[in-house]
C-alpha cells in the first residue's frame, strides 16, 4: 500500500476521531460532512495522480527504506534528478485542476525532520533520528498525508515568547518525563489538518522550552481543532462556481494543544535550539519550491481561462490582449525557472537527503505573490464586466427569463452561449469569488511573509563577495 487510492485515503480517515468544531458546533463525522467535501477532494488529488496512467510512473519511486514502491510525496530525494522528477510531477497536477493539494507539507516536513534529527543526534548523542526513520517508513508504507502545525499565534509581535503576558502565545513544553513530553499552546493556519493522517508540530524559537518538534495523531487527547469551512460553496455549483465547488480550497483550523502528551518515540527535537536553522531552512526551501510549482499551475489555468474568454469574446488576436497573454506566459516561465534552478542548484545534507536551494524559490514565491494581482487584472480586463454582473445559473435555467440570457449572453458565432457563460463563471471563480479571496491570502502570506523571504535571499546574496568584485572594478586596493 505504498501508494493509496483516493478511496483508501478517505477510508483511512474514518479511523480517526479528531475533536473538531465548526461555527460553534462539534462535527463528529468529517468524512461525510458537506463542509469537508471540497477539502477532501483537494487532498485526494495526489492519490488520483498516482493512479492515473499518464503519471503513474513518474509518481512512484522505489524506496530502499521500505523496500517497496512508494509515492514520490513520501519519498526522500537523494539528488538533483529526484528533484527534477518532482518538478515534473508537481507541474503535472495542472491536469487535476487542484489549486492546493496540500501534499507538499508531507514532503517538506519529512525532509526537514530527517535532517535535523540526524544533526541533533550527532551533536547531542540523542536518538531522535531513529524516531524519524520510523515515521518515514510508516508514511511511505501507508502513503500518509502529514499535516503541519508550524505557526503559533505569537500575540504581541514586538515581544519574544517569554515576554508575552500569556506564555502560551508560542507552543511550548510544559512537562517532561521518562515517557514523553507535554505541550501547550496553539497553532494557527492548520490548513487541512482534520483530514491528515498525522501531524508534525514544531516550535522553533531560541528558548529551550520553545524549541520542540514532534509527530502526533490528530486525535490525540487535548487537541481541539476550531475549523472554518472552505471559502467555497459547500453545495454543488456546477455552473456558478465550476472550480471551487469541486476543489476550492481547504478547511482551515486553529489547533489548540491543551496539555497534549507526546511519547518520546514521536519527538525529534526538544530544546536543542541551535538546530532550528537547519530545520527552518530545509523546510522553507522545500515549501517555497512547492509554492512556486503550485503558483505555476494557477498561472497555467489563468492563462488558459484568459485565452478562452478572449476566444469566446472574439478578441483573441487583439494586440493588447495577446500582449496580456504573453506577459502572463512570461511570468509562468519565471516561476517555473525558479523551481527548476532550485532543483539543480540544491544541496545534499549529510543525512542523505537532497533539498532545493532557497534563494531562487524564495524569489519565485515573492514574485508570484506580487504578480497575482496583475494576473487577476488581466483576466478581468480581457473578459469584461460580466465577470461581476452576470446572472446566476438559476436565472439561466428559469423558464421565464432564461431565454433572455440565452439570447443576450451569446458571443462569438459558433460558441454555444452556455459555454461562454461557463467561461465567465470560471473567471469569476478564479478572481472574484470567496474562494478567490482565500487563494489570494494563501499566495500572499501563505508559507512566509515576503519580508522573511527577501531576507533569506539577502542572506544567500553574498554581499561581501560582491563588494570584493566591486572593489576590483573600482581599483580599490585591499587595505
Minimum distance from residue 310 beta carbon to a copy of itself (Å): 9
Distances (CA, A) of 199 to 176, 380, 462: 20, 39, 36
Nearest CB to a copy of itself, comparing residues 267 and 328: 328
Nearest distance from residue 222's CB to a copy of itself, in Å? 12
Report the nearest approach of a copy of itself to the CB of residue 36 (Å): 16
Query: Whose Cβ is closer to a copy of itself: residue 90's or residue 131's?
Result: 90
Minimum separation from the CB atom of position 89 to a copy of itself (A)? 15
Q: How far is the CB of 110 from a copy of itself (least distance, A)?
A: 23
Q: Cβ atoms within 10 A of the Cβ of 172, count?
A: 22
- CB of 18 vs a copy of itself, minimal distance in Å: 13
Which stretches within 31-170 are classed as H helix?
37-43, 45-50, 56-59, 80-92, 104-124, 128-142
146 or 379: CB nearest a copy of itself? 379
CA atoms within 13 A on the CB side of 427: 30
Report the residue count for the chain: 479
Residues 339, 293: contact at Cβ < 8 Å?
A: yes
Minimum distance from residue 203 beta carbon to a copy of itself (Å): 14
- For 16-54, b/e burial (b = at least 16 CB within 10 A) is bebbbebeeeebeebeebebbbbbbbbbbbbbbbbeeee
The H or E element containing residue 429 is helix 417-431
DSSP letters for 314-346? T-TT-HHHHHHHHHHHHHHHHHHHHHHHHHHT-
Distances (CA, A) of 279 to 110, 184, 192, 291, 366: 10, 21, 22, 18, 21
3-class DSSP assignment, residue 235: coil
Within its chain, how far is the Cα of 131 from the centroid? 25
Could you tell me where the beta strands, DSSP code E, fall in 314-443?
A: 347-348, 354-355
Q: Report the 10 Å Cβ neighbour count for 94.
A: 17
Q: Could you give the CA distance from residue 429 to residue 323 in angstroms, rounded to a whole number?
A: 23
Angstrom distance (rounded) from CA 272 to CA 275: 6
Q: Which is nearer to a copy of itself, 65 or 337 (CB)?
A: 337
Distance from CA of residue 223 to its chain's centroid?
22
Q: Nearer Cβ to a copy of itself, position 352 or 437?
A: 437
Q: Which residues contact 452 (CB under 8 A, 6 or more apart)?
A: none
Half-sphere exposure (CA, 13 Å, Cβ side) for 469? 4
Would you say 161 or 446 has its CB closer to a copy of itself?
446
Instruction: Tell me how far, at minimum, the Cβ of 171 lies from a copy of itself, in Å.
Output: 10
Q: Which is nearer to a copy of itself, 263 or 373 (CB)?
A: 373
Least Å distance, CB 134 to a copy of itself, is: 31
Nearer to a copy of itself, 155 or 217 (CB): 155
Q: Least distance from C-beta 283 to a copy of itself, angstroms? A: 16
Of the pair 115, 383, the CB lying nearest a copy of itself is at 383
Smallest distance, Å, CB 456 to a copy of itself?
9
Q: Which is nearer to a copy of itself, 1 or 329 (CB)?
A: 329
Question: In 10 A of CB 448, how many CB atoms?
Answer: 20
Residue 143 or 429 having the CB closest to a copy of itself: 429
State whether residue 26 is helix, strand or coil.
strand
Nearest CB to a copy of itself, comparing residues 135 and 171: 171
Shortest Å distance, C-beta 267 to a copy of itself: 23
Amino acid at each position: 500500500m505504498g501508494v493509496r487510492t483516493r478511496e483508501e485515503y478517505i477510508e483511512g480517515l474514518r479511523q480517526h476521531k479528531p475533536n473538531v468544531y465548526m461555527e460553534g458546533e462539534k462535527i463528529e463525522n468529517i468524512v461525510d460532512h458537506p463542509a469537508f467535501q471540497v477539502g477532501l477532494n483537494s487532498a485526494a488529488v495526489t492519490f488520483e495522480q498516482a493512479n492515473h496512467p499518464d503519471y503513474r510512473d513518474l509518481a512512484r519511486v522505489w524506496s530502499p527504506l521500505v523496500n517497496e514502491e512508494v509515492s514520490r510525496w513520501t519519498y526522500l530525494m537523494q539528488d538533483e534528478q529526484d528533484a527534477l522528477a518532482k518538478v515534473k510531477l508537481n507541474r503535472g497536477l495542472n491536469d487535476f485542476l487542484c489549486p492546493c493539494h496540500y501534499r507538499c507539507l508531507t514532503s517538506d516536513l519529512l525532509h526537514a525532520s530527517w535532517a535535523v534529527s540526524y544533526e541533533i543526534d550527532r551533536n547531542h548523542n540523542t536518538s531522535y533520528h531513529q524516531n524519524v526513520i520510523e515515521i518515514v517508513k510508516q508514511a511511505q508504507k501507508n502513503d500518509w498525508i502529514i499535516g503541519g502545525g508550524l505557526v503559533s499565534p505569537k500575540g504581541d509581535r514586538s515581544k519574544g515568547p517569554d515576554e508575552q503576558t500569556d506564555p502560551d502565545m508560542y507552543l511550548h513544553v510544559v512537562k517532561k518525563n521518562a515517557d514523553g513530553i507535554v505541550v501547550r499552546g496553539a497553532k494557527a493556519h492548520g490548513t487541512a489538518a482534520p483530514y491528515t493522517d498525522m501531524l508534525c508540530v514544531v516550535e522553533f524559537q531560541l528558548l529551550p522550552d520553545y524549541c520542540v518538534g514532534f509527530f502526533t495523531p490528530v486525535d490525540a487527547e487535548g487537541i481541539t481543532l476550531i475549523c472554518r469551512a472552505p471559502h467555497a460553496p459547500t453545495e454543488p455549483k456546477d455552473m456558478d462556481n465550476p472550480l471551487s465547488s469541486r476543489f476550492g480550497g481547504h478547511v482551515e483550523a486553529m489547533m489548540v494543544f491543551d496539555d497534549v502528551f507526546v511519547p518520546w518515540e514521536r519527538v525529534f527535537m526538544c530544546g536543542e535550539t541551535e538546530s532550528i536553522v537547519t530545520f527552518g531552512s530545509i523546510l522553507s526551501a522545500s515549501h517555497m519550491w512547492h509554492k512556486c510549482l503550485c503558483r505555476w499551475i494557477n498561472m497555467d489555468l489563468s492563462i488558459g481561462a484568459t485565452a478562452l474568454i478572449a476566444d469566446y469574446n472574439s478578441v483573441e488576436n487583439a494586440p493588447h490582449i495577446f500582449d496580456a497573454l504573453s506577459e502572463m506566459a512570461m511570468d509562468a516561465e519565471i516561476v517555473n525557472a525558479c523551481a527548476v534552478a532550485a532543483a539543480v542548484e540544491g544541496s545534499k545534507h549529510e543525512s542523505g537527503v537532497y533539498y532545493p536551494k532557497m534563494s531562487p524559490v524564495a524569489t519565485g514565491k515573492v514574485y508570484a505573490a506580487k504578480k497575482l494581482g496583475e494576473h487577476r487584472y488581466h483576466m478581468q480586463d480581457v473578459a469584461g464586466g460580466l465577470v461581476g454582473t452576470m446572472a446566476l445559473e438559476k436565472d439561466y435555467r428559469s423558464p421565464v427569463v432564461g431565454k433572455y440570457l440565452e439570447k443576450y449572453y451569446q458571443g462569438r458565432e459558433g460558441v454555444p452561449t452556455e459555454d461562454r457563460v461557463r467561461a465567465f463563471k470560471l473567471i469569476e471563480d478564479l478572481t472574484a469569488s470567496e474562494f478567490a479571496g482565500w487563494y489570494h491570502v494563501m499566495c500572499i502570506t501563505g508559507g512566509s511573509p515576503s519580508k522573511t523571504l527577501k531576507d533569506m535571499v539577502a542572506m544567500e546574496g553574498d554581499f561581501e563577495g560582491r563588494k570584493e568584485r566591486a572593489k576590483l572594478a573600482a581599483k580599490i586596493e585591499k587595505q
